[in-house]
Structure 1
Amino acid sequence: MDRVRITDPRALRALAHPARVRLLELLTLDGPATGRQLADRIGESTASVSYHVAQLVKWGLVEPATELARGRERPWRATSRGITWPATGSPEFVAAARALRDQMVARRIEELDDYRRAEDTLDPVWREAAWFGEDGGYLTPAEVAEATTRIKAVIADYTGSRRPRTADARLVRFFAYALPTPPPPTPDAPPEPR
């Protein structure tokens, strides 16, 4: 499953809701689930989950998994491995993309806080395996694009949907960014000689 590229600002706005971000994550990472199962996982009512799933269906991000239906249960599945969107566009698009990105970053910060609160309870093997890193350097836009492509490829080797899940595996989140700093301020022009 490839990632879906979203170019409609209305779709970005529809997705920029904490419950929808969470539901799409669950369906992408854990596979098909019913509304009841999803409601139990995110702590929302089944009616609320149904509404949010309908919004995801409207924009082609979720679809019924009819072949898995049992009785009255209607399972849902993600239609892709994730989403992408252009970095630029109309002011409406840029605002919608920013709103979605803000939700996604808030979710990652929440997960980081969850980890820090639970860190002492984790098996030492998992604490050793966890990684926090930081680095920086001076790159061109082409070098940033190349580095990003290489990093995504390495992560995809371990997160692909066809990769079998072993009994000792846990969900591990990779969160990275490659953001340029603003340009330095231009120095004041030297005073003109008198």
Structure 2
Amino acid sequence: MTPQATPSDDAIATASDSASAPVDDRPVEEPASSPTRARRRTLTDAKEIRALAHPVRVAMLDALRREGTLTATEAADLLDESPANCSFHLRTLAKYGYVEEAPGGTGRQRPWRRVDLGLSYGLEQPSPEVGAAARELDQHFRVQRQREIEVWEATWQSYPKEWRDASFSFQGLTYLTAAELAEINEQLIGLIDQFRERLDDPSKRPPDAHPVSINAGAHPLPRSKRGN
């Protein structure tokens, strides 16, 4: 199917502030288990949300989700950034618990990996500061999603027919209660979670599997003048 486009006191430091930051050369040992790696993280703190609200960090988390582990040098090659800049952003993400060191290297050649396989946050937050940070982060993710759509629209004809036929964009209208909408949300998350282990373990991916962007959203609309 053809595509259808459907400043504060605790602000994070800029990359230029990291030039004198020491590089830790200690090797990392793999823990016996990493129970936090499979959990979904809910963001509720303004500092941790704002730490992620940066285009390079959003792109870096996405790259780590796809590649599994990356060194600063490898991330720089993927994102067209300098290794020093990527090293700074990786350390910032690690400071706020988004990534962690993985075994297999030291210094700038140490690999990093995501801690959480899923992030969630709401625009309705307990304080104006947290709400503003969440809206800022949401805008970064919107830009990322729009960029993915634009890339698909520019390249869809290069994909085999089976992929062109399987891809879809859906928009519809129905009438639901709040409880029914919440149930749909849970069902969609459950459906996608069936394949979540493939993100963390490439061996679980079928040989013909391809990275697929899945976006879904639903919200109430204002009633018409006639009350419908």
TM-score grouping bracket, smaller chain normalisation: 0.7 to 0.9
Structure 1 residues 140 and 45, CA gap change in structure 2 (3 angstroms) = same
Paired positions, count:
186
Letter in 2 for 1:102: Q
Q: Which residues in structure 2 correspond to 1:25-44 (within 5 Å)?
A: 25-44=62-81
**1:136 deviation in Å?**
2.0
Q: Is residue 55–residue 140 contact of structure 2 (8 Å, CA) maintained in 1? A: yes
- Which residue matches 1:169? 209
**1:69 deviation in Å?**
2.1
Deviations 1:11-69 (A, max 9, x none): 1111111110111112123211111111111111111111111111111010100x222
Unaligned ranges ≥5, structure 1: 188-194
Deviations 1:139-193 (A, max 9, x none): 2221111100001111111233357123321100101111222456799xxxxxx
The TM-score with structure 2 as length reference comes to 0.75
Larger radius of gyration: 1
User: Structure 1 stretches (4+) deviating beyond 4 angstroms?
Assistant: 183-187
In structure 2, what is the Cα distance between the partners aligned to 1:56 and 1:71?
16
Q: Is residue 4–residue 80 contact of structure 1 (8 Å, CA) maintained in 2? A: yes
Q: Is residue 4–residue 82 contact of structure 1 (8 Å, CA) maintained in 2? A: yes
- Which residue matches 1:116? 153
Establish whether residue 82 from structure 1 lines up as the match of residue 122 from structure 2. no
SS at the partner of 1:27?
helix
Select 2:93's aligned residue among 40, 44, 56.
56
Q: Is residue 72–residue 108 contact of structure 2 (8 Å, CA) maintained in 1? A: no
- Which residue matches 1:69? 105
In structure 1, what is the Cα distance between the partners aligned to 2:109 and 2:88?
16
Structure 1 residues 119 and 2, CA gap change in structure 2 (3 angstroms) = same
- Which residue matches 1:191? none
Q: What's the Cα RMSD here?
A: 2.0
In structure 2, what is the Cα distance between the partners aligned to 1:68 and 1:135?
48
Q: Is residue 87–residue 108 contact of structure 2 (8 Å, CA) maintained in 1? A: no
Q: Is residue 123–residue 135 contact of structure 2 (8 Å, CA) maintained in 1? A: no
Structure 1 residues 23 and 72, CA gap change in structure 2 (3 angstroms) = closer
Q: Which residues in structure 2 correspond to 1:153-168 (within 5 Å)?
A: 153-160=190-197, 161-162=200-201, 164-168=204-208
Letter in 2 for 1:177: G
Shifted more, 123-132 versus 69-78: the winner is 69-78
Q: Is residue 19–residue 52 contact of structure 1 (8 Å, CA) maintained in 2? A: yes
